[in-house]
Amino acid sequence: MKLEDFSNIDFKNAGSLPGPVKAVMLLLLFLIIFAIGYWYFWTEAFSALEAEKTKEQELRTVFLDKKAQAINLEGYRQQMVEIEKTFGALLKQLPDKSQMDGLLTDINQAGLARGLEFELFKPGQETQTEFYAEMPISIRVLGSYHDLGAFATDISKLSRIVTLGDISIIASSKKEGKQATANSDLIMEATAKTYRYLDATEIAAKKKAESEALAKKG
């Protein structure tokens, strides 16, 4: 087969062409058809194949995660038991509605036991969240530095959760103009916050009110 065999090809008499020339032409035709088919048909199929491979990998990862969770299911159950115990212990530190008066009395008694003089003890407006209610109490007490510190410590040791915030300590007007000492009368102003859990009736009423509010917006 020579190069000249390709320069004078008569396609009308392709059947009489030499065998090697026919073979080369068939190969070229096959390559052209293959390229066209690849471009118009197989490219999309290959893209779909890659997408399925990616999806398969994602599903494999999900499967392995679920498998690991299934293997550790007993451990997760034990964790849930511990969480429930911890939640129950914390819940016991929150009084219910009927116990709030007793808690307020405990806070007041803690100050009186330290010899403090209450100039203000005013419960504020209760604020409800999803599962509990928060009540701020504005307090202003008169006493020595050590007694005020002891009072704050006693508050932190109550069986119920009570926090002190927005604390401000100033010299009492009774000692105005005199140098403050450990035994000087000081005035502490603070906001004590107590918490209680909402009972089933209150939670149901709260959810009903939220549903009605959403319905009105809709």
Residue ranges making up the domain that contains 171: 97-202
Q: Report residue 142's pLDDT band, with 50, 70 and 90 as the boundaries.
A: very high
Which among 213, 170, 183, 61 has a CA at the least distance from the CA of 115? 183
pLDDT for the residue numbered 2: 53
pLDDT for the residue numbered 196: 81
pLDDT for the residue numbered 182: 46
Point out the domain boundary residue: 71, 86, 117: 71
Rounded to two decimals, what is the model's pTM?
A: 0.50
196 and 105 within one domain: yes
DSSP state of 151: H
Instruction: Judge whether 181 lies within some domain.
Output: yes
Task: Kindly report the average pLDDT of the chain as a whole number.
Answer: 77
For 33-63, the pLDDT digits (tens) are: 777 766 666 677 777 778 888 888 888 888 8
Overall average pLDDT of the 201-213 stretch: 77
94's CB contacts (< 8 A; 6+ apart) are: 132, 160, 161, 195, 196, 197
Q: In total, how many domains does the chain have?
A: 2
Tokens, residue 59: 């599903």
136 and 53 within one domain: no
pLDDT for the residue numbered 18: 62
CA 11 to chain centre: 77
The answer to whether residues 129 and 168 touch, using CB atoms and an 8 Å cutoff, is no
Instruction: Judge whether 197 lies within some domain.
Output: yes
For 13-30, the pLDDT digits (tens) are: 555 566 666 676 677 777
Residue 114 sits in a domain of what CATH number? Answer: 3.30.70.60
